[in-house]
Amino acid sequence: MKLTIIGCWGGYPRKGGASSGYLLEHDGFSLLIDCGSAVLSKLQEYIHPEELDAVILSHYHPDHIADIGVLLHARLIQGFIGEKPPVLPIFGHNMDKKEFSKLTYKNITKGIAYDPVQKLRIGPFAITFLHTVHPVPCYAMRIEAAGKSFVYTGDTAYKDDFASFARNADMLLCECNFYGNMDGKGAGHMNSIDAGMLASRANVKNLVLTHLPHYGELNELAKEASKQYEGNIMLAEEGLRITL
C-alpha cells in the first residue's frame, strides 16, 4: 500500500494547503479517503481526478467533503473533452440522508452507503469501521491489503475502543487537532497526548499525526506524543508519501 498525504489541515486549508485528503494506492487501484477543501487541486499533483477508482468518506464536515462537488465537475468535464470516465463510487455512511444523497450525481458519481458493522471490500482493500466521538456521525477505518494494515482515525476524541481497533497496525494516521495542554474532547478531537497514548496502547508500528492545528509550533505535537509512544512519529504534510 502506498499512502500520499494530499491535505492535512484541520477545519480549513492553510494558505496553499488542503484539508483532509489521503490517497491510498495498491495493485493499480486508487482510493481517495476524504475529500476536503483544496484536495482536488493538490490531488492533481499525483493523479488525474478521472483516474480515481473510488472515494470513501469518514463524515460530512466541510473540511472532509468540500471538494466532492468539484471532483464531480472534473469527471463531468473530462467526459466532454476526452474519454468518459466510469461512474465513480463514493462510499459514505447514510446516517445523514441529506448529505449522503448529494454523493450521487447522474452517471458521474454514485453514493454507496457502507454498513459500519460489516467488512467492506473496495478493490484490493478490506475495510472495517469504528464509530468515533465527534459532534456528527463519523467513522474511523482500518484498511488492510497484502498483509499490511493502515488505520485512519477520522475526526474523534480519544476512545478506549481504538486500542483494539488499531491493534498492531503498520500505520496509524491519527488526528491531532490540539496541543498537549489543550482539551479537545468538547470539540470531538484529540490532542498530541491522546494520539501518543492511542499509538502506544494499540502497539502500532508508525504514527502519523494529521488534522493539524493552524497555530503553534507543529513539531511540539510530535514531541508531546513521543512522551507516550516510543515508536516512529511523523507529522503529516502535503506530498508526504509512505509505502507500507
Contact 216, 184 (CB under 8 A): no
In the range 144-183, which residues lie near Zn ion by CB under 5 A?
155
Among 63, 67, 144, 224, binds Zn ion (CB under 5 A): 63
Taking the CA atoms of residue 68, residue 78, residue 48 and residue 128 in that order, the dihedral angle to the nearest 10 degrees is 40
- Of the two residues 218 and 244, which places its CB atom closer to Zn ion in the complex? 218
| CA angle 64–68–72, rounded 5-degree value | 165
Q: Binding to Zn ion by residue 34, rule CB under 5 A?
A: no
User: Considering only 49-57, 63-71, 107-115, 194-202, which stretch makes contact with Zn ion by CB under 5 A?
Assistant: 63-71
Contact (CB, 8 A) for 175 and 153 = yes
Among residues 61 and 75, whose Cβ is nearest to Zn ion? 61
Contact partners, residue 86, CB within 8 Å, separation at least 6 = none
Nearer to Zn ion, 66 or 244 (CB): 66
Interface segment toward Zn ion; rule CB under 5 A; list 62-70, 78-86, 120-128, 226-234? 62-70
Contact 33, 141 (CB under 8 A): yes
Report d(CA 146, CA 126) in Å as an integer.
10
Nearer CB in complex with Zn ion: 144/155: 155
Q: What's the min distance (Å) between Cβ of 156 and Zn ion?
A: 9
Structure-block grid coordinates of residue 233:
512519529
Residue closer to Zn ion (CB basis): 50 or 99: 99
Minimum distance of Zn ion from residue 12's CB (angstroms): 9
Kindly state the number of chain residues that form the binding site for Zn ion, as judged by CB under 5 A.
3
Q: Which string of DSSP letters, residue by residue, matches 36-72?
A: -TTHHHHHTTTS-GGG--EEE-S---HHHHTTHHHHH
Give min distance, CB of 153 to Zn ion, in A.
11
Smallest distance, Å, CB 174 to Zn ion? Answer: 13
Query: 136 phi and psi, to 5 degrees?
Result: -125, 160
* Residue 212 DSSP class: B
Rounded least distance, CB 20 to Zn ion, Å: 6
Element (H, E) at 133: none
CA count, 13 A, side-chain hemisphere, 124: 15
Nearer to Zn ion, 43 or 145 (CB): 43
Judged by CB under 5 A, does residue 61 bind Zn ion? yes
* Least distance in angstroms from the C-beta of 134 to Zn ion: 5
List interacting residues with Zn ion (CB under 5 A): 61, 63, 155
